[in-house]
Amino acid sequence: MSQGHHIIPQRVLLGVFGSLIVLTGVTYGLAQINLGVLEVPVALAIASTKAVLVVMYFMALKYDNPVNTLTFAVGVIFVGIFITFTLFDTAFRGDIGNVSEQTVREIQREEEELQRRQEALTPEQLRVAPADFENAEPDPEAGTGADADRGGSSGGS
């Protein structure tokens, strides 16, 4: 035993434990009130703080051979890469097409707008071919025209 092992004092262990319990209480308390968009970042920040306390004191990286800290840090970095780069894909999926300057969502929004406008048109406005007008001609006089109108208006609504 050249350097011996660092024995973490009981006082430190109990102090860290106390902090962990307090942080658990804080994150539980904050969950009861609505923080809006900050909810997830705050909860994750508290969880990360707790994890750092456990890693540094309970797992003793603070007193340990630095190579273990390096190992752990590299692992955590790769977890970050894993999550970030997956979300780069999934969170923005369908945003950029390869045939148009517009984003896929913009095109979708335009199509939905056109669809809405088309549905708002009455059957009268949709008459374009001469045949449409011929069939509709007897409308004002005969009862058949009223039937057609009723059918048309229900279709248009």
Partner 1 sequence: MATDTATAPATTETDHDHPAHLEHHFVSTEQQFDSAKLGMWLFLITEILLFAGMFVAYAVYRQWHPEAFLEASVTLDQFLGTVNTIVLLTSSLTVALSIHYIQKDEQSKSFWSLIATLALAGVFLVIKYFEYTAKFEHGIYPGALFDPHGAKYEPLANIPYVAQFFSIYFVMTGIHGVHVVVGMGIIAWIASRVYRGHFGSDYFTHVELTGLYWHLVDIIWIFLYPMLYLV
Residue 68 interacting with partner 1 (CB under 8 A): yes
Give the residue, chosen from 20, 104, 136, 148, that forms a contact with partner 1 under the rule CB under 8 A: 20
Take residue 98 and report the two structure tokens written for it. Answer: 């390869």
Burial (CB count <10 Å: 0-12, 13-18, 19+), residue 116: exposed
Please state, in angstroms and rounded to a whole number, the distance separating the CA atoms of residues 102 and 116.
Answer: 20
Q: Closest distance between partner 1 and the C-beta of residue 111, in Å? A: 22
Angle at CA of residue 151, ends 147 and 154, nearest 5°: 140
Q: Closest distance between partner 1 and the C-beta of residue 29, in Å? A: 10
Interface of this chain with partner 1, residues 77 to 136, rule: CB under 8 A: 78-79, 82-83, 86-87, 90-91
| Backbone torsion region of residue 140, taken as left when φ is above 0, otherwise alpha when ψ lies between -120 and 50, otherwise beta | alpha
Interface with partner 1 by CB under 8 A: which residues?
1-3, 5, 7-10, 13-14, 16-17, 20-21, 24, 27-28, 31, 39-40, 43-44, 46-47, 50-51, 54-55, 57-59, 64-65, 67-68, 71-72, 74-76, 78-79, 82-83, 86-87, 90-91
